Amino acid sequence: DMEQRERWATKIGLILAMAGNAIGLGNFVRFPTQVAGNGGGAFMVPYFLALFLLGIPVMWVEWVQGRYGGKYGHGTLGPTFYLMARESLKPRSALWFGLIGGALAFATTTLLNSYYLHLIGWSAAYSWFSITGAYYGKNTAQFFSQYLSNHGLVFLFWGITVVLLGIAVGQGVSKGIERWVKVMMPLLYVFAIILVIYVFALGSPLGQPQWSTIKGFEFIWSPNWGYLKDHLWKVMLAASGQIFFTLSLGMGIIQNYASYLGPKDDVALSGLATVSLNEFAEVVLGGSIAVPLAVAYAPKIVPPDVLAKGSDAALAWISENFGLGFSYTSLPNIFVQMGTAGRFFGALWFLLLWFAGFTSAIAMYNYLTALLEEDLGIKRSVGTWVVFIIYFLLGIPVVYINGYLDQVDAWISFQLALLALFDIIVSVWLFKPDNFWRELHEGALINVPEFYKWITVIIAPIFIALPLFGTFTDLVSKTLGWPAKIAILTMLTIGAIEAYYAIKKKYGEELEKNEVIIKV
């Protein structure tokens, strides 16, 4: 039974929404962190390997899944996995895969957002602090920790962000999300390009030729082969983890957006376009702002005792300390150096982060709203506020429990790969490779070369699975504390129960008989 569900109104709207989904803090903060911390330019070899062997094939798999689920009226992974697994399995066995898909996607969309939304809120706050010059003349590290301990203020900027998300999602897919991203995404590119041009033009702002933005580019892009050789395993893991994170794979949200396609709308070229737009915003734009700035202004942010040891020590300090906190503590120091212009460029940088994060979070918000709407019959306008409350509750431990954020983040990186593996098991192996390949080419605007089929069937799952086995035990026994473990288990359980309910509701009869009844 084909169901008429909402659809994207325009092709450009769809592409911008998907690009917005993928382009996030991952591009502008996480990517430079990974490059700087994993051997600079040498990191790009495993990175591009992971892009072609994992990123692109899994992106296609998820677009295919989404459009397939949408045909039956589903924008969530539980029922979609069930339907695809049913191609090889009896309904009652297929049900298990539905539960796994539903559990993993629900856990990611709730847990990842518990902290991601706070990071976006911080960016909103810092846009404001930059334009008003609030941290000028202060110790920026102290300023940041004062801000974090001012919970009222933290939740205010968080609240502004999440209310706006709720409004956009509440308006629906074509009238809400699509309209918002059509404004926000072009602006995001403009902000980023202005910042990159400015960074290029800065040269040696302190008048010391050894510290320039060009040095910053050299630092990121000169390949450190020795490092790659000595830490091959770790660097490969970091590279594939970054590919999943940045392309929004293993989360359920690419599928959710693709579920609003028509049954014959192209997925092959559109999936590739999503990857390309994200990679431009990552490798070209994301790599050209924060790190070159940090290197050009190194004497102002690196501690004097480290600086005294010479420029190699200073660069090593930057690569070790670069990361989230860095954006909110060290970069403000740099904006202060620019005087009044710094207020403008600082605000532009944090607004860029806010836009990038917002257009990703909107996809997660929509996943949960769709889940309430389709599976539980809760109206969209009401569902968005239910999601608001869920997010509020899940955000509390992020603010109050030390270390919780990093632990949940470590788990999420693992879980993305796990779900990506199940993507392939369900939608390629169980759905059968030939069906997958036919679906991929249904309405396709390009022809994907045949060897990609075999990359998807064989190479990609091996590449995903190997590091998973290597990391699980450490993660559970060393990294995760009790609050994080409880949160993870709870969300996985709720996700599985929800998926069970959703599948049972619609396919109860065939589960009862254990024979497939409903077919397109």
Which positions touch Na ion (CB under 5 A)? 22-24, 26-27, 246, 278
482: Cα separation from own chain's centroid: 25
Q: Which residue has the tokens 């970091």?
A: 238
CB of 244 to Na ion, least distance (A): 10
CB of 278 to Na ion, least distance (A): 5
Both ends of the chain: CA-CA distance in Å? 6
CB of 364 to ligand PHE, least distance (A): 5
Report how far apart, in Å, the C-alpha atoms of 26 and of each of 241, 281, 351 are.
11, 10, 15
CB of 397 to Na ion, least distance (A): 25
- 85 touches 431 (CB < 8 A): yes
Burial of 197 (0-12, 13-18, 19+ CB in 10 A): exposed
CB of 180 to Na ion, least distance (A): 18
Q: Which two structure tokens, joined as six digits, stand for 503? A: 């599948």
Q: With CB cut-offs between 5 and 8 Å by kind, which of ligand PHE, Na ion, none does residue 361 bind?
A: ligand PHE
If the CB atoms of residues 143 and 358 are measured against ligand PHE, the closer one turns out to be 358
Residue numbers at the binding site for ligand PHE (CB under 6 A): 22, 24-27, 112, 116, 245-246, 248, 253, 360-361, 363-364
According to DSSP, residue 1 is labeled -
Q: Which two structure tokens, joined as six digits, stand for 259? A: 């579920």
If the CB atoms of residues 36 and 511 are measured against Na ion, the closer one turns out to be 36
Report the amino acid identity of residue 55: G
Q: With CB cut-offs between 5 and 8 Å by kind, which of Na ion, ligand PHE, none does residue 274 bind?
A: none
CB of 294 to ligand PHE, least distance (A): 20
Q: Which two structure tokens, joined as six digits, stand for 341? A: 């212009």
If the CB atoms of residues 285 and 511 are measured against ligand PHE, the closer one turns out to be 285
CB of 342 to ligand PHE, least distance (A): 25
- CA-CA distance, 508 to 514, in Å (whole number)? 9
Q: With CB cut-offs between 5 and 8 Å by kind, which of Na ion, ligand PHE, none does residue 314 bind?
A: none
If the CB atoms of residues 291 and 363 are measured against ligand PHE, the closer one turns out to be 363
Q: Among residues 371, 385, 399, 387, which one has the least CA distance to residue 151?
A: 399
Q: Which helix H or strand E contains 31, and what residues bound it?
A: helix 31-37
CB of 439 to ligand PHE, least distance (A): 24
CB of 254 to ligand PHE, least distance (A): 9
Q: With CB cut-offs between 5 and 8 Å by kind, which of Na ion, ligand PHE, none does residue 364 bind?
A: ligand PHE
If the CB atoms of residues 240 and 329 are measured against Na ion, the closer one turns out to be 240
Q: With CB cut-offs between 5 and 8 Å by kind, which of ligand PHE, Na ion, none does residue 360 bind?
A: ligand PHE
Report the amino acid identity of residue 256: N
Report the amino acid identity of residue 368: L
Other CB atoms within a 10 A radius of the CB of residue 469 amount to 8
Report the amino acid identity of residue 395: G
If the CB atoms of residues 18 and 298 are measured against Na ion, the closer one turns out to be 18
Q: With CB cut-offs between 5 and 8 Å by kind, which of ligand PHE, Na ion, none does residue 333 bind?
A: none
Tell me the residue nearest to Na ion as measured from the CB.
246
If the CB atoms of residues 27 and 329 are measured against ligand PHE, the closer one turns out to be 27
Q: Which two structure tokens, joined as six digits, stand for 372? A: 């309430």
- CA-CA distance, 306 to 313, in Å (whole number)? 6
If the CB atoms of residues 61 and 95 are measured against ligand PHE, the closer one turns out to be 61
Q: With CB cut-offs between 5 and 8 Å by kind, which of Na ion, ligand PHE, none does residue 507 bind?
A: none
If the CB atoms of residues 22 and 56 are measured against ligand PHE, the closer one turns out to be 22
- Name the phi and psi angles at 205, rounded to 5: -65, -25
If the CB atoms of residues 56 and 363 are measured against ligand PHE, the closer one turns out to be 363
Residues 6+ positions from 385 with CB-CB distance below 8 Å: 166
Give the CA-trace dihedral at 427, 95, 368, 155, to 10 degrees: -110
- 219 touches 73 (CB < 8 A): no
- 176 touches 257 (CB < 8 A): no
CB of 199 to Na ion, least distance (A): 20
- 116 touches 353 (CB < 8 A): no
